Amino acid sequence: MKKSITLSLVLATSLGLAACGEKAADEAAPAAEDTATVEGAADGAMEAAEGAADATAAAADATANAAGDAAAAANTAADKASEAADAAKEATDAAKGAMEEAKK
């Protein structure tokens, strides 16, 4: 259960960041007048590639951070569930004790 939730969060974050990364790469495209020459076209292609690489790196960092946060939240939830189970066990033991005392 924890793995599926964590993986779902990572996937959703990855897809969201990938969509935003494409938009940033589109905005980094060179102006039309720069592509009039071969050198301008090559420079524009290099700038676009650098922008795409930067966006990909940012998306990977954000995804890793989100995965770490999700794992921490899952661990916290597991700890709380364990505490609740312990409290339920104590309540059950107390109820059993009260039942035995009432039988006497």
pLDDT at 8 (0 to 100): 78
Of the listed ranges 16-20, 34-38, 49-53, 71-75, the one predicted with least confidence: 34-38
Burial profile 73-84: b = 16 or more Cβ within 10 angstroms, e = fewer? ebeeeeeeeeee
Read off the pLDDT of each residue in 73-88 and give the average, rounded to a whole number. 88
Read off the pLDDT of each residue in 66-75 and give the average, rounded to a whole number. 87
Burial (0-12, 13-18, 19+ Cβ within 10 Å), 47: middle
Q: Read off the pLDDT band of 35 (50, 70, 90).
A: very low
